[in-house]
């Protein structure tokens, strides 16, 4: 009987995929197809959750098949990340009018990423205080205890690296290893290696212009092929979101969400508040925030469902360049750096809320100026260095809590709602990278205002 229901669920998924394909053939807009996939994925996941229960054999096997569409799509995006980052950065540098622009570009990108992470920390502190979050209010079961022990073990790994060692981990001693994505800092290492290649080409162009021209022509040809690959993969976005969302909803721990509903609510209030701050920053720099929202929604939809900042890099770069009018080099660097540095959701809001929640259980008042200033500064520093050890929100929390002399094991209390919160955190991280690229382009007078204000640019970019 289980086999029948599993086959039925697969047939339902195939029927929805057929509907999305029909919409594509009828040239329905990319945004509408993405959100149709998202909505139908929620409905399908809810059906599985209600009909069979999240931990049933039917759901386990069904979601394995759904992963072909969901995780398979993420794998394709991860496949293209390193080639895209590498060739895009080399191509953008060799086309720079002034090599000095590279330093200014990097400085502004890092300033926006780390600066917004510190603002996010204040937002997290405020939300946790308003909702009166306290670790003592949450019961710790066996799963939470196991997670706490695991976090303490990982803390030892984190503390094995000093701050200078974390910085050194960015430098690619073996760039070919980093091209395989084997290290936590592989993306940044590839960026650094690509920057060196680009700067070297600028030097060769001055002394041996013929050799430089041959190399530049080759890079431009490879760039055209890679961007075509990106377009082909992005056509699958509605199908990937469908699979990811169906699996997420089908396997969600509803009981855990109800038990920790207050923390989930406080987290999303903070995430939404920070999103509004992003839009205020867009307004302060003289740009229409609603235009920005309309153009980035498909990217945020994928980030929300995939929970992967790195996997969102291709869609992030494509949208910045073609929809928002961001300078090519700035789009590449802001998307690449934003996947590991200054993450507003994972490295800003989440550790700050945990620290405020855990502090009272240790007899510490988290609302004293000294505690807040120390917490914000540590988050600002760790939001840059957390990429050195990888692991996103978990490692950010480990670094911040241990630096504040708070018990990291209590972070295990939130294991049951971690996936749900991580969806919103990832969307905010990716939004921050796009805000950073847009504002950096505006500051450096490299933003294509006409394209930014063109309401049809998002559909021209992805008439996929």
Looking at the predicted structure, is the pLDDT value of residue 139 above 70? no
pLDDT in tens, 319-355: 999 999 998 889 988 988 888 788 898 889 999 998 9
Q: What percent of the chain has pLDDT over 90?
A: 36
Task: Locate 126 and state its tokens.
Answer: 């405020």
Burial class (CB in 10 A: 0-12, 13-18, 19+), 153: exposed
What is the pLDDT, as a whole number, of residue 84? 85
The pTM (predicted TM-score) of the whole model is 0.84
What is the pLDDT, as a whole number, of residue 464? 47
pLDDT in tens, 219-239: 889 988 988 888 888 889 899
pLDDT in tens, 420-442: 888 899 999 999 999 999 999 99
Task: Locate 186 and state its tokens.
Answer: 């592989």
Average of pLDDT values for 279-295? 95
- The candidate with the shortest Cα–Cα distance to 403, out of 71, 158, 107, 83, is 158
In Å, how far are 15, 19, 38, 369 from 9, measured between CA atoms?
A: 10, 15, 17, 55
218 contacts: CB under 8 Å, gap ≥ 6: none
What is the pLDDT, as a whole number, of residue 149? 60
Whole-angstrom Cα distance, residue 282 to residue 219? 33
Backbone angles phi, psi at 463, to 5 degrees: -75, 65
pLDDT in tens, 232-284: 888 898 999 999 889 988 887 776 676 678 888 999 999 999 999 999 999 99
What is the pLDDT, as a whole number, of residue 264? 87
What is the pLDDT, as a whole number, of residue 348? 92
* DSSP count for the chain of H helices, then E strands: 22, 0
In Å, how far are 355, 356, 372, 430 from 364, measured between CA atoms?
A: 10, 9, 12, 33
């Amino acid at each position: 009987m289980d086999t029948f229901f599993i086959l039925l669920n697969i047939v339902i998924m195939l029927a929805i995929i057929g509907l999305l394909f029909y919409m594509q053939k009828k040239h329905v807009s990319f945004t509408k197809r993405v959100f149709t996939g998202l909505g139908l994925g929620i409905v399908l996941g809810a059906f599985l959750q209600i009909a069979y229960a999240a931990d049933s054999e039917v759901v386990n096997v069904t979601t394995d098949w759904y992963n072909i569409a969901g995780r398979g799509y993420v794998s394709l995006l991860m496949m293209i990340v390193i080639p895209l980052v590498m060739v895009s950065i080399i191509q953008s540098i060799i086309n720079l009018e002034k090599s000095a622009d590279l330093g200014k570009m990097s400085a502004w990108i890092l300033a926006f990423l780390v600066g917004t992470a510190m603002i996010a920390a204040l937002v997290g502190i405020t939300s946790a205080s308003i909702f009166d979050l306290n670790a003592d209010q949450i019961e710790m079961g066996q799963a939470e205890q196991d997670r706490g022990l695991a976090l303490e073990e990982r803390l030892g790994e984190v503390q094995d690296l000093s701050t200078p060692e974390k910085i050194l981990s960015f430098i690619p001693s073996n760039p070919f290893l980093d091209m395989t994505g084997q290290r936590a800092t592989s993306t940044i290492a590839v960026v650094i290696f690509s920057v060196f290649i680009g700067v070297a080409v600028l030097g060769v162009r001055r002394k041996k212009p013929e050799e430089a021209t041959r190399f530049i022509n080759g890079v431009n040809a490879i760039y055209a092929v890679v961007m075509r690959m990106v377009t082909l993969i992005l056509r699958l976005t509605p199908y990937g979101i469908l699979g990811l969302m169906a699996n997420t909803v089908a396997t969600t721990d509803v009981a855990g969400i109800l038990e920790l509903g207050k923390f989930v609510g406080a987290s999303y209030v903070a995430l939404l508040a920070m999103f509004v701050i992003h839009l205020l920053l867009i307004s302060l720099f003289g740009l229409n925030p609603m235009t920005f929202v309309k153009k980035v929604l498909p990217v945020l939809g994928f980030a929300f469902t995939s929970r992967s900042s790195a996997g969102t890099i291709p869609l992030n770069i494509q949208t910045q360049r073609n929809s928002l009018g961001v300078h090519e080099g700035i789009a590449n660097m802001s998307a690449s750096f934003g996947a590991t540095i200054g993450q507003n959701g994972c490295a800003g809001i989440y550790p700050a809320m945990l620290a405020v929640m855990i502090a009272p259980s240790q007899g510490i008042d988290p609302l004293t100026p000294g505690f807040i200033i120390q917490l914000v500064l540590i988050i600002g520093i760790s939001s840059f260095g957390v990429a050195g050890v990888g692991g996103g929100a978990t490692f950010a929390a480990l670094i911040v809590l241990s630096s504040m002399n708070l018990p990291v094991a209590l972070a295990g209390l939130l294991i049951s709602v971690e996936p749900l919160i991580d969806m919103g955190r990832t969307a905010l991280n990716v939004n921050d990278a796009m805000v950073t690229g847009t504002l950096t382009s505006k500051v450096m007078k490299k933003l294509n205002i006409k394209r930014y204000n063109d309401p049809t640019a998002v559909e021209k970019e992805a008439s996929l």
